[in-house]
Structure 1
Amino acid sequence: MTLTVQDSAETRKLRHAWGRAGKRRRTISLLLVAPLFVYVLLTFMLPIGMMLYNAVENVELMRAVPETTVALGQWKPENPDELPPDIVFTTFLHEISAAPRNLVGEAARRLNYEVSGYRTLLTSTVRKLRTMSENLSEEGAARRFMAGIDTRWEEPAYWHAMKRASSTYTPYYMLAAVDLGIDDAGQVVQAPEEQRTYIDILLRTLKTAAIVTAVCVVLGYPLANLMVVASRPFSIALIIAVMLPFWTSLLARTSAWIVLLQREGLVNSLLGYLGLIREPLELIFNTTGLYIVMIHMMLPFMVLPLYSAMKGIPPHFMKASASLGAHPVRGFLNVYLPMTLPGVGAGVLLTFIVTAGYYITPSLVASARDQMLGYFIAFFANTTINWGMASALGIILLACTVAVYFLAARTVGVRQLAGLK
């Protein structure tokens, strides 16, 4: 009996010591991965979160005229032709006349997204309000005063637009990114035909990325295979040729292609010297130039995953299939090609994603009709300082990228894409 109690006590001590050792190991493991977690959080999750927030943020009007936004929130119009009550006019006049100029400018810019010309209307109204001396306490006085400044204040569309822009968060940017909008009745409708541009731009971006990726597969597959089967000196030379673009400035490579493909460039001069053309070809600042340059830029992203996958295939597999009587074409289709599919999937995914998000090269070598979504994201972020629209377009591009990833993962497999199987 004493021995049993002693064994039980020893067992508890061992379990306790083992638990403490396991806890210590888990703590050490967490401390080791903590820097990686912080890095991913700061460089990946936080920017995406900020982009999501900027795509729905809508505080410009609330900062400039907070009481007016509250009054507009209480206004429940029964039809699109209804004007707000007099309290909205009066509150708006008193607030906008005393609001700081920078906040008025931000509010005017935001309202101009809703209705073209709103910025001019608001800024001209504010200038006249600075010298306002009328008593607006009488019923309807504020409405008559604003109508005297500009008759557009009597149009319900401008007040409905202000009501849409008065909430803390708005779907405006996300809807505009897919050529949709909200009408005065609060319904989601398609944007006017002359304003439907972003879906075409998105489709153009995906089409360009798909064509560049397909051509890179056609060119990269035999090149990667040649790098594997060639003699060592020739293989090293090919690897250096493929890696060389990574060692050269992106701007320098793009500028070099502009020089090569222009009307008096080396390509046109060579074709003319060989008698293949009579007039110089238009090879730059159009779709042709875009595809030529982008394929050159993206080819290494396709070749390197293919080379890695092909390098890991034992060469005797094809010899074994031939010894069993399989035709080389059948052996390639049934043995070699399936084993290279993880490399093809990884190369396609990498090439497509990078191509879809490219900005500098298309903006330099393509025409205005061939600009991709990245150009417009940069335009809204750097030129018009419209962070909401830039973020919304970025989210649309991110969603397409994630969709392509899941399609590739479902087709090839996540582990195969990561080279784990």
Structure 2
Amino acid sequence: MHAAEIKKLFPLLDQHVNGKPLVYLDSAATSQKPYTVIEKLDDYYRRYNSNVHRGVHTLGTIATDEYEGAREKVRAFLGAASTEEIIFTRGTTTALNLVARCYGTANLTEGDEIVITPMEHHSNIIPWQQVAKATGATLKYLTLLEDGTIDMNEAQTTITSNTKIVSVMQVSNVLGTINPIKELTQLAHKHGAVMVVDGAQGAPHMKVNVQELDCDFYAFSGHKLGGPTGIGVLYGKKQLLQNMEPYEFGGEMIDFVGLYESTWKELPWKFEGGTPIIAGAIGLGAAIDFIEDLGLDTIKAHEQELVSYSFERLSEIDGLTIFGPKERAGVVTFQLDDIHPHDIATVLDAEGIAVRAGHHCAQLLMKWLKVSATARASYYVYNTKEDIDALKDGLVQTKEYFGDGF
């Protein structure tokens, strides 16, 4: 199916913004939702809205089957061994914080090391800063090469026998860098460390098999792959999850409650306290169905084509700098002369073109790039070459508006 046909399956994209046809180039922040996901959410609330795991009535049974059915879809989507390894969370941020608190704080001590990279999203930096403060562990950073890829030779000496956790994003939300997760996992395991993967920008755009990667934890969000907001996933190896204590306590996650002691349910429910994100999980299941019908290899190839076309078209603009490696996911982050990214985004918005401007929750990377902010166009299944043509025309107009050499 051609991207122009796929675009018709996303109702929000069929509109005008500021009198111009919408060109949505901000999918790294959140993707748009296909009809099938919206209809699945509507069906839940209209037809079988009920809590799960509790009642024996018909609506509760349907809701529970759909909710746990979505967990099985996620398991298959990630190639996990068991649904016991699939924890529903509010998103990638919550999933990473869960690992930091329930595994990191409990298992690290003074002298231990946590290794991350300067390209990480704040959600994969701040939790580890807090773990280091709480435990006395040392936070270390892998070195980036000039093109924004990890220096794997240097990684051999940065990751040591003192390293207990390595936590790296699969794909940079700024540079589009696709990190060598399998190789980093092998290096971490060689030294007895666990590997945590921020898959927020990976899972929506490429085929992921956690058993092949052999990572210990993998986190992603539903809203970046066509699903609802407020739903995410933490995959964890069963043995690790079994040995971790939950950090959110209440209904649903308990087995037995006594006056002074309580016990927890088995996996995965011991980490899902309270009424779970029922509609979100069901909507995520529908989103997975949608993108698997398209094919993740097809999605990746389409985005690679858009990236190549972006380099071709945007390189025609004098004064435009694209950050990051040539081989990348569907993200193009750039500067245009000395025009502030917020001004670029404002002019583009007047033309109906939605891009991101700012530090993208990656202030360490902005410092590494020696900039305060950048503009970012990010692609998904519904974007076309015509969208990139519109972006190019909009940037030319921006340049003219502010004057060459501004």
Q: Could you state the TM-score of these two structures normalised by the residue count of structure 1? A: 0.21
Larger proportion of helix? 1
**TM-score, with length taken from structure 2:** 0.22
